[in-house]
Amino acid sequence: MKRRTLFALTGLAVLAGCGSPGAGSKGNTGLSFANRLTVPPLLAPTVTADGTKQFALTMRKGRTAILPGKPTATWGFNGAFLGPTVRAARGDRISMRVRNQLGEPSTVHWHGMRLPAAMDGGPHQVVAPGATWTPHWTIDQPAATSWYHPHLHGSTAMHVYRGLAGLFLIDDAETAALGLPSTYGVDDVPLILQDKVLDADGGLKEDPEPTWGLIGDQILVNGVHDPFFEVTTTSVRLRILNGSNARMYNVEFADRRRFAVIGTDAGLLAAPVSVDRVQLSPGERVEIVVEFAPREQVVLRSVGGDHGIDEGDHQLLKFIAAEQLRPGRPVPQRLATTPRVEAPADATQRRFRLSGSDEINGREMDMSRIDEVVPAGATEIWHVQNTVYAHNFHIHEVAFRILDIDGRQPPAYLQGPKDTVFVPEKSTVRLAVRFGHHTDPTTPYMYHCHILRHEDKGMMGQFVIVEPGTEASVPRTLSNHHQHG
Ligand code: C2O
Ligand code: CU
Ligand code: CU
């Protein structure tokens, strides 16, 4: 097997790829694809007497062999690095047992999940060292690729960077009936993209670049450096998560083959969209289906762009197809039937101005201040105006649709259900945002830039969802909010 000779070269490739931290990182196209991609294990729930699926996640520290012979100090859920994949279906009652064995406070936020604010795992739901947090809710949203990660105010960036992140896959009956590739780890493969800066002895360097925070020059896929994946089917569904702190990816295959985008952050598109490249800013997900021929090999890569957070060309992963591939079904021409998010003609309009890197509408995040009060079930139009360099925007609890970017329609693959959007430099993005029905006037959800250093520095705001008609009487100051460490 060719991989043996490739393995001998890995050490060299690693040294060649280790650049200086920060913007201007030159990219990394010297991979040898020596390491088999691992896929995060599915987390088996315990099913309680009333049918609730109970999942146990323990945050802990560990060591991981990212580079050969140079163990890296990392953090993970249930293991040393990253976390297992949680999987549940629409209608499931689930409960989590989140234990914190980090020796310092953290939180676990379910990014993309529609649930009561007290279960959301944002900065107010601190899990003290040694404590166990037990949120529970009923899954009530369409099939999607979601994820989970810490959200401790001021510390999110480093907690995620050290390895606290995992996938949360939501299934539903409608999606299951489509015949999409769905054998986990075989033809339905999650790819968590994260960039790191590794020092000479394998340590994670955390020195932030001044504008963006952490932009690394080593891209790990599912925590694996220099990976390959053995393809055994003609069609493969990839669920790609940008789990990076700041880096944006422009993802394509080296031979520029086309592939079908079938879903984005908050669920499937109405119909597949054929493209040869997708852009993913931090926190965004995309589901694609790509076709392979027997014995072919092709590299997935990210090409450099000019947004400051997407510099440099980077190889990500090599696909190596087997001699014989199990044939798959073509992607159906109709996917989700969930109606798209439409705002009524008299929709409430709200404006959010991103300037600098630590404020929204001129104000830094304040855990005791409610910035916006939203009536349950509303669909509103949010204008996100960026007056400076690249940012993005994520809203908890919702699904939104991008109406336009500087007045122009987004590309077709970005017209589906989303919860996170790239906001290019000096541009305005308009979103039609559909809010849920879990009311709680004293526990806020967050909206923020998902460049994690910006979020940590205060480019974040808080909203509550309340009973329609009670907006005016909702207190704008939280008396009892949790202080964080
Ligand atoms: Cu991915 Cu506020 O989170
Ligand atoms: Cu979120
Ligand atoms: Cu930002």
Q: What pLDDT, on the 0 to 100 scale, is given for residue 18?
A: 36
**CB of 153 sitting under 6 A from ligand 1:** no
Structure confidence by residue, pLDDT tens digits, 125-148: 999 999 999 999 999 999 999 999
**Statement: residue 306 has pLDDT above 80:** yes
Which of ligand 1's atoms lies nearest the C-alpha of 420? 1
113 near 267, Cβ under 8 Å?
Answer: no
- Angle, vertex CA 14, rays to CA 12 and CA 18, nearest 5: 120
Q: What pLDDT, on the 0 to 100 scale, is given for residue 50?
A: 95
Find the 436 Cα to ligand 2 centroid distance in Å.
14
Which of ligand 1's atoms lies nearest the C-alpha of 122? 2
Q: Which two tokens stand for residue 108?
A: 């676990």
Q: What pLDDT, on the 0 to 100 scale, is given for residue 480?
A: 65
Nearest residue (CA) to ligand 1, atom 3: 111
**Statement: residue 419 has pLDDT above 70:** yes
Averaged pLDDT for residues 75-93: 98
**CB of 394 sitting under 6 A from ligand 1:** yes
Extents of the domains making up the chain: 3-33+179-326, 35-176, 349-473
Find the 109 Cα to ligand 2 centroid distance in Å.
6
CATH number of 349-473: 2.60.40.420
Question: Rounded to 5, what percent of the chain is helix, strand, coil?
Answer: 10, 45, 50
Find the 304 Cα to ligand 2 centroid distance in Å.
26
- Annotate 18-33 with DSSP letters as a single string: ---SSTT--EE-----
**Statement: residue 82 has pLDDT above 50:** yes
- Annotate 30-90 with DSSP letters as a single string: -----EEPP-PPBPPPEEPTTS-EEEEEEEEEEEEEEETTEEEEEEEESSSSB-PBEEEET
CATH number of 35-176: 2.60.40.420
Structure confidence by residue, pLDDT tens digits, 28-69: 888 999 999 999 999 999 999 999 999 999 999 999 999 988
Contacts of 129 (CB under 8 A, 6+ apart): 100, 101, 102, 103, 104, 105
**Integer Cα distance of 456 and 417 in angstroms:** 26
E strand map for 118-258? 132-133, 136-138, 144-149, 166-171, 188-196, 218-221, 227-233, 235-242, 249-253
**Integer Cα distance of 296 and 44 in angstroms:** 35
- Angle, vertex CA 264, rays to CA 406 and CA 433, nearest 5: 55
Q: What pLDDT, on the 0 to 100 scale, is given for residue 469?
A: 98
Averaged pLDDT for residues 177-185: 97
Which of ligand 1's atoms lies nearest the C-alpha of 396? 2
Q: What pLDDT, on the 0 to 100 scale, is given for residue 77?
A: 99
From the CA of 392, the nearest ligand is 3
**Statement: residue 11 has pLDDT above 60:** no
Give the largest Cα separation in the chain, rounded.
70
From the CA of 424, the nearest ligand is 3
CB hemisphere CA count around 281 (13 angstroms): 21
Q: What pLDDT, on the 0 to 100 scale, is given for residue 377?
A: 98
Q: Which two tokens stand for residue 433?
A: 């945002």
One fold for 35-176 and 349-473: yes
**CB of 241 sitting under 6 A from ligand 1:** no
Find the 394 Cα to ligand 2 centroid distance in Å.
7
Which of ligand 1's atoms lies nearest the C-alpha of 455? 2
Find the 298 Cα to ligand 2 centroid distance in Å.
33
**Integer Cα distance of 36 and 29 in angstroms:** 18
Structure confidence by residue, pLDDT tens digits, 361-409: 999 999 999 999 999 999 999 999 999 999 999 999 999 999 999 999 9
> What proportion of the chain, given as a percentage, has pLDDT over 90?
90
Q: What homologous superfamily is domain 3-33+179-326 in, according to CATH? A: Cupredoxins -  blue copper proteins (2.60.40.420)
Q: What pLDDT, on the 0 to 100 scale, is given for residue 481?
A: 57
How would residue 218 be classed by pLDDT, with cut points 50, 70 and 90?
Answer: very high
**CB of 446 sitting under 6 A from ligand 1:** yes
**Integer Cα distance of 396 and 90 in angstroms:** 18
